[in-house]
């Protein structure tokens, strides 16, 4: 969906009505508002586009989402003293309820909920330039996006305030239980799956919208996070049997601009440099800013605020450590001194790299594969769900339900990618004769295949909940970090919450 998603200030206008005398007077038909909008099909499309646009905002994928997820995991380390204090707190697990990254992500996901609710409440009002098929698709997209937001919230914060309608008064929402949040997630996804088209049905500017496969993948992920492998299995099987997806031959096709929305992509967060950069710095989604900071923040020749952790770098199979082959994903995921960039015309030398040049830098999602330098305006899409993830989840499900033999074909598909071509499991380092051995192989494969894709944090959390970790991977981890703290601002501003609602340990 490389098209302008922002509705400028429209949604802010619709969603945050002021209470002055003019707004209390009879409706002005020339002024946009809930009373005068949502009347046509194009207006409904613009409204759902604004929900997607919320994903591009500074407090989500423009900047704070990838920091938050990566720093909570063991994928990353600090690139040096230039990493801001609030981010270092998250990395070192010394944060509290005042941490701004924690609050930014919370606010970002509730903005998605609010905008989705506006559509769900008003979609039936459209009577012009619309078909019932289009209306149902837009409603399904809104339900998928609301489910995504609640999935992100419940898996980090636990039970959260449920907002199933737009706020119309200062009265606030009490904290719901985890079960109640998941019930809404699965209800929304059931409806979305029933009405969303297959990925192949989208063409032109609609490419990148939520599809049936994306909703099925999210449902499977939610069930797996709760340890319900049997409930996840049918969703994964439907994705695999849909003939909508396949692994691409070249691993880096998944992280470069020219090969976005390819056959391996189940769903992507869309970015583009084509529509301006207003609000890129600390924007809230109210301006045109469909770009991300990822390249500038992580790039070896840029700020290099975050680098790959040594445990991640050392996790890749190498001949020197007894493997039959060096894993080529080392070079696909990381830049090291002596590597070429800028289309092969430049060499990464020590004087070009900020900080410790003995340590690798991130290559994934870096724009310097074709440019001389990074900036704050990367248009590379985030591959939020890709087919390799689905195959590895299916391997995990089959291992749990049927044993390692049933898991083997799925995990080995990922290793058989033509430009990866790692020896199939079992290997000398990773035998797969037992259920536990296969689990360790799957955990390894997920770590090295999906590195730096904002997946590892949630993997660690769900495996920890189910006592499936071989050892604790997070230094300074404490039991209170099982859940993130409710932001102080939420407790202060939400009259339905008190300090007693805060998660344990904060």
Contact present, 108 and 487 (Cβ < 8 Å) = no
> What gap in Å lies between CA 385 and CA 412, rounded to an integer?
19
Contact present, 367 and 380 (Cβ < 8 Å) = yes
Contact present, 45 and 90 (Cβ < 8 Å) = no
Say what the pLDDT of residue 138 is. Answer: 98
Say what the pLDDT of residue 36 is. Answer: 79
**DSSP secondary structure of 314-329:** HHS--GGGT-SS--TH
**DSSP secondary structure of 175-241:** BPPHHHHHHHHHHHHHHHHHHPPPGGG--GGGTTS--HHHHHHHHHHHHHHTT-HHHHHHHHHHHHH
With H, G, I as helix, E, B as strand and everything else as coil, classify residue 43: helix
> What gap in Å lies between CA 18 and CA 218, rounded to an integer?
36
> What gap in Å lies between CA 122 and CA 236, rounded to an integer?
33
With H, G, I as helix, E, B as strand and everything else as coil, classify residue 78: strand
Residue appearing with tokens 């087919």: 387
The two structure tokens encoding residue 73: 């995991």
Q: What does each C-alpha distance from 111 to 55, 123, 146, 329 come to in angstroms?
A: 9, 18, 10, 36
| CA 291 and chain centroid, separation | 15
The residues pairing with 162 across neighbouring beta strands, listed in sequence order, are: none
Say what the pLDDT of residue 9 is. Answer: 34
Contact present, 380 and 256 (Cβ < 8 Å) = yes
- Nearest Cα neighbor of 475 from 92, 19, 168, 5 is 92
Contact present, 74 and 448 (Cβ < 8 Å) = no
Residues in contact with 19: Cβ distance below 8 Å, sequence separation at least 6, in sequence order:
none
Beta-sheet pairing, 265-269 with 382-386: antiparallel
> What gap in Å lies between CA 33 and CA 436, rounded to an integer?
57
Contact present, 395 and 300 (Cβ < 8 Å) = no
Ranges of residues in the chain whose predicted pLDDT is under 50: 3-27, 282-285
> What gap in Å lies between CA 256 and CA 247, rounded to an integer?
15
Q: Which sign, positive or negative, has the C-alpha torsion 134, 139, 142, 144?
A: negative
Helix (H) or strand (E) holding 251: none
- Nearest Cα neighbor of 73 from 355, 315, 365, 369 is 315
Say what the pLDDT of residue 31 is. Answer: 55
How far apart are the two ends of the chain, measured CA to CA in Å? 41
Q: Which long-range contacts (CB under 8 A, 24 or more apart) does 155-160 make?
A: 155/225, 155/458, 155/461, 155/462, 156/105, 156/461, 156/483, 156/484, 157/106, 157/483, 157/484, 157/485, 157/486, 157/503, 158/483, 158/503, 160/486
Say what the pLDDT of residue 2 is. Answer: 53
The residues pairing with 307 across neighbouring beta strands, listed in sequence order, are: 77
Contact present, 98 and 488 (Cβ < 8 Å) = yes
Cβ neighbourhood burial of 493 (10 Å; 0-12, 13-18, 19+): exposed
- Nearest Cα neighbor of 57 from 95, 114, 128, 14 is 114
The two structure tokens encoding residue 476: 């300074």
């Amino acid at each position: 969906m490389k098209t302008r998603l922002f509705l400028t200030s429209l949604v802010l206008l619709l969603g945050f009505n002021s209470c002055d005398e003019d707004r209390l007077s009879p409706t002005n038909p020339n002024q946009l508002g809930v009373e005068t909008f949502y009347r046509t099909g194009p207006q409904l499309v613009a409204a759902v586009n604004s929900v997607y646009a919320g994903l591009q905002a500074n407090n989500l994928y423009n900047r704070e989402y990838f920091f938050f997820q990566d720093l909570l995991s063991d994928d990353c380390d600090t690139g040096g003293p230039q990493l801001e204090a609030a981010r270092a707190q998250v990395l070192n697990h010394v944060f509290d309820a005042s941490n701004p990254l924690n609050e930014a992500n919370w606010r970002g996901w509730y903005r998605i909920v609010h905008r989705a609710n506006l559509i769900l409440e008003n979609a039936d009002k459209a009577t012009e330039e619309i078909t019932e098929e289009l209306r149902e698709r837009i409603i399904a997209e809104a339900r998928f996006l609301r489910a995504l937001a609640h999935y992100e919230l419940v898996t980090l914060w636990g039970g959260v305030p449920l907002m199933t309608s737009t706020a119309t008064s200062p009265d606030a929402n009490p904290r719901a239980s985890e079960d109640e949040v998941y019930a809404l997630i699965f209800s929304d996804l059931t409806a979305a799956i029933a009405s969303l088209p297959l990925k192949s049905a989208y063409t032109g500017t609609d490419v990148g919208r939520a599809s049936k496969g994306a909703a099925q993948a999210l449902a499977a992920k939610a069930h797996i996070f709760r340890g319900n492998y049997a409930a996840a299995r049918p969703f994964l099987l439907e994705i695999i049997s849909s003939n909508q997806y396949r692994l691409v031959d070249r691993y880096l096709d998944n992280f470069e601009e020219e090969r976005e929305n390819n056959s391996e992509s189940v769903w992507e967060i869309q970015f583009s440099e084509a529509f301006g950069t207003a609000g890129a710095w600390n924007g809230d989604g109210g301006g045109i800013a469909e770009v991300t900071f990822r390249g500038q923040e992580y790039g070896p020749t840029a700020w290099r605020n975050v680098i790959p952790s040594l445990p991640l770098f050392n996790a890749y199979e190498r001949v020197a450590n007894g493997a039959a082959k060096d894993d080529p994903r080392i070079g696909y995921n990381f830049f090291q001194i002596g590597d070429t960039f800028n289309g092969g015309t430049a060499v990464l030398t020590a004087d070009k790299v900020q900080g410790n040049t003995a340590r690798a830098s991130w290559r994934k999602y870096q724009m310097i594969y074709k440019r001389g330098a990074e900036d704050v305006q990367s248009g590379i899409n985030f591959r939020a769900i890709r087919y390799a993830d689905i195959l590895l989840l299916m391997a995990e499900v089959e291992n749990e339900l049927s044993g390692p033999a049933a898991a083997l074909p799925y995990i080995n598909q990922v290793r058989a990618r033509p430009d990866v071509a790692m020896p199939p499991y079992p290997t000398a380092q990773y035998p797969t004769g037992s259920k536990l051995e296969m689990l360790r192989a799957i955990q390894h494969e997920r770590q090295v295949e999906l590195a730096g894709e904002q997946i590892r944090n949630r993997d660690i959390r769900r495996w920890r909940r189910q006592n499936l970790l071989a050892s604790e991977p997070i230094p300074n981890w404490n039991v209170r970090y099982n859940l993130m703290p409710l932001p102080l601002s939420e407790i202060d501003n939400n009259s339905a919450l008190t300090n007693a609602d805060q998660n344990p340990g904060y």
